[in-house]
């Protein structure tokens, strides 16, 4: 059965974990992202609850007890163009990992969501920690019920426990996530994002999904057509023309079907 937290005894001292990582385990924190900001590469902080969790564009990320919240510090060489698309690569690697763990229907939703069917079960946040580090934040709903804290999430948020009777043990999930992050980092460093695009474009679920992009001062509707080699969303309009959108220009993507 699923254990709600890392094995006891609990300690804030980093413990050896997945090859090459030091992992610090906490209970309730304000934000794992903030705690990780001063850490060195290959250091990760996990928590079972966040009081001030955040997602894309500083939106609140409900982080109630029973979820897994992790921030992992990875090295950054300062060349931003080389790492474009890293968050998408992490999402792809984590999706592949969770599929092997039995969640066959898991998919990505641009730019940073993990979905099962129409329900969001996790999210990814990429921030720069220092001139030489980046922080990958992952939040996954395991057995928690975020809609009890935020009723507006009813029918929008999901959890892994709803799709498989045996949720992987907390410690095992931490291991799977860290391996996925390292895989994405290695692939981007060695071959760049463009070579991953075909695999990532097979990770969105069914093709031809009608979406609406909420933009500053308006919106745009069309068919989601994957991403380009820069990680930009490709939107096919009703007239057949294709527009491309960076995540910094899109406030929110809404799936209409």
Question: What is the DSSP track for 144-192?
Answer: --HHHH-GGGTTTB--GGGT-SSPPPHHHHHHHHHHHHHHHHHHHHHH-
pLDDT at residue 14, as a whole number: 67
Q: Which residue segments constitute the domains of the chain, with CATH numbers given? A: 15-200 (3.30.930.10), 210-255 (2.30.30.100)
The whole model's pTM is what? 0.91
Each of the 257 residues of the chain gets a pLDDT tens digit; together they read 333 444 333 456 666 567 789 999 999 999 999 999 999 999 999 999 999 998 887 788 999 999 999 999 999 999 988 899 999 999 999 999 999 999 999 999 999 999 999 999 999 999 999 999 999 999 999 999 999 999 999 999 999 999 998 888 999 999 999 999 999 999 999 999 999 999 999 999 987 899 999 998 899 999 999 999 999 999 999 999 999 999 999 999 999 98
Sign of CA dihedral 38, 42, 43, 44: positive
Nearest partner of 41 among 87, 73, 4, 10, judged by Cα? 73
pLDDT at residue 57, as a whole number: 75
pLDDT tens per residue, range 98-130: 999 999 999 999 999 999 999 999 999 999 999
User: Hey, what are 23's tokens?
Assistant: 């992992």
pLDDT at residue 13, as a whole number: 64
pLDDT at residue 65, as a whole number: 95
Those residues whose C-beta lies under 8 Å from the C-beta of residue 135, and which sit 6 or more positions away, are 33, 36, 37, 71, 72, 73, 74, 126, 127, 128, 129
pLDDT at residue 3, as a whole number: 39
Residue 156 near residue 140 (C-beta atoms within 8 A): no
Nearest partner of 19 among 251, 172, 179, judged by Cα? 179
Phi, psi of 158 (to 5 degrees): -135, 180
What does the alpha-carbon distance between residue 140 and residue 238 come to, in Å, rounded to a whole number? Answer: 35
First to last CA, the chain: 35
What does the alpha-carbon distance between residue 40 and residue 42 come to, in Å, rounded to a whole number? Answer: 7
pLDDT at residue 241, as a whole number: 96
Nearest partner of 227 among 250, 217, 67, judged by Cα? 250
What does the alpha-carbon distance between residue 251 and residue 214 come to, in Å, rounded to a whole number? Answer: 5
pLDDT tens per residue, range 171-194: 999 999 999 999 999 999 999 999
pLDDT at residue 9, as a whole number: 35
pLDDT at residue 16, as a whole number: 57
């Amino acid at each position: 059965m699923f254990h709600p937290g890392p094995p006891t005894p609990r300690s804030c001292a980093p413990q050896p974990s997945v090859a090459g990582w030091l992992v610090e385990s906490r209970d309730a924190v304000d934000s794992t992202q903030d705690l990780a900001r001063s850490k060195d590469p290959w250091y990760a902080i996990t928590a079972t609850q966040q009081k001030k969790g955040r997602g894309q564009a500083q939106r609140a990320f409900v982080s109630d007890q029973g979820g897994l919240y992790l921030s992992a510090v990875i090295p950054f060489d300062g060349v931003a163009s080389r790492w474009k698309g890293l968050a998408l690569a992490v999402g792809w690697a984590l999706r592949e990992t969770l599929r092997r763990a039995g969640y066959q229907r898991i998919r990505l939703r641009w730019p940073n969501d993990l979905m099962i069917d129409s329900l969001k079960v996790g999210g990814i946040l990429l921030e720069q920690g220092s001139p030489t580090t980046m922080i990958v934040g992952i939040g996954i709903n395991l057995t928690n019920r975020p809609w009890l804290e935020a009723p507006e999430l009813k029918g929008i948020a999901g959890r892994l426990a709803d799709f498989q009777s045996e949720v992987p043990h907390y410690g095992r999930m931490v291991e799977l996530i860290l391996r996925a992050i390292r895989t994405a980092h290695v692939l981007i460093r060695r071959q760049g994002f463009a070579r991953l695009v075909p695999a990532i474009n097979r990770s969105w679920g069914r093709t031809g999904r009608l979406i609406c992009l909420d933009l500053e001062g308006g919106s745009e509707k069309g068919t989601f057509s994957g991403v380009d080699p820069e990680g930009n969303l490709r939107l096919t309009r009703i007239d057949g023309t294709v527009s491309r959108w960076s995540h910094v220009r899109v406030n929110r993507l809404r799936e209409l079907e």
